[in-house]
Structure 1
């Protein structure tokens, strides 16, 4: 299996906080040039700050930009199944490789509720559906037994695990081994190479926004069987993650690092973290030390 890297693409904003679609397309082209696939409207894409119509327009724009060059997965998860279905139907047919849905958030769900939610979604669209587990943000976790049940649905293609624990990834990978056609994508940036070595179909990375070539190097070296090169690229990538994320909320740090190199990405919508001169200086030093400024 050829492993793949998806970058959870940032959403760019103008000074008045409207979406800058052209700048977002430019970021997509940057990732495509590096050889990375894309995820739009994910955590690093400020999806919680986007309106329903903005999400649809972003999905259409990035799908068009990608064409047949790379794969695009769109996160369309909303707190309620009703709105999730509305959004999913609106982007179905855009040529997306997959529709990912973060677990409902704010609303506490039982595992039976999650099964109904994701089954309803998979029934409603023809685009393959990917489960999206990030319990630290949603307080709802897709248990491995639930993933196994959902993997039996003909239109559920896999899961994006953003839980950050190796044990959960391994549990999902066992589901994948038992259920052919079900893929596991590992998200935490410090686990990129480990996830590939364990059998993940690929990774979804937020940090790849900052260092697209470095992320691509980990995956391409792994695919080529060059373990030493993959390990070295992972070492640098993990060091960048540790230093940058130590400064604050990871998606905000990714966005700010990009802004310092390219102001066209803009700030995030409020109440996201405001710029801080001392923090900016620390970010700039981290980027310069790795030749990313």
Structure 2
């Protein structure tokens, strides 16, 4: 009986240590992400930058940005939602937090469910996926070229939450298709990315679709967006759904609702520092 008691204590101590180690690594990854960000002088948007853009793209920027809008540097957000561990599995609740940098391209996301936590990240030009059982035991450690491509695509698609990142520059161009669709081509770290972007009649982005690796095979990946609201002088979607399009049919696997989003806040949510950037809480 005494031996069993000490074994239980030892297991609990080991579990607590593994959780602490996992959280320490997460803090270190986030610190590295934020330490790499660009510190150059701020830039500001003006409508003159829209000259020559495809009609639906011009309409989108006039809807979601205002004259003089500052270019976003960092973003942090919290979300709720549902997630599938496989396309044929049931939906489970998930909550998460995410941090982004624009220059250089980067993000880290941590999602938590009752049984596991997951981290998607793109830091220093490298993508990675980690999954931990009970936030302690690492059971997935995905990295390599396919993850570099996939995580960078995620960063670019989620620019809907910081739309100044969609503005054209030497590495980012829009191409006309028709009155409701355009193609976005981007080069980051030598990787060429391309999204087909569909717009609503109002001018909001409805979907972004591209080819992304799924189990080592390129498949069509689709992000669907809705519930646009204004925050920080920008109009952004508060609902997002990620799907795979297989055999012409959509199979959603993630549905996120933004609970809180803040701009140019260079620290974790648990930190005590106060910043006067605009914030929205649903």
User: More helix by proportion, 1 or 2?
Assistant: 1
Higher relative contact order (CA 8 A, sep 6+): 1
Given the two structures, how large is their TM-score scaled by the length of structure 2? 0.29
Taking structure 1 as the reference length, what is the TM-score of the superposition? 0.28
Q: Whose strand fraction is larger, Structure 1's or Structure 2's? A: 2
Larger radius of gyration: 2
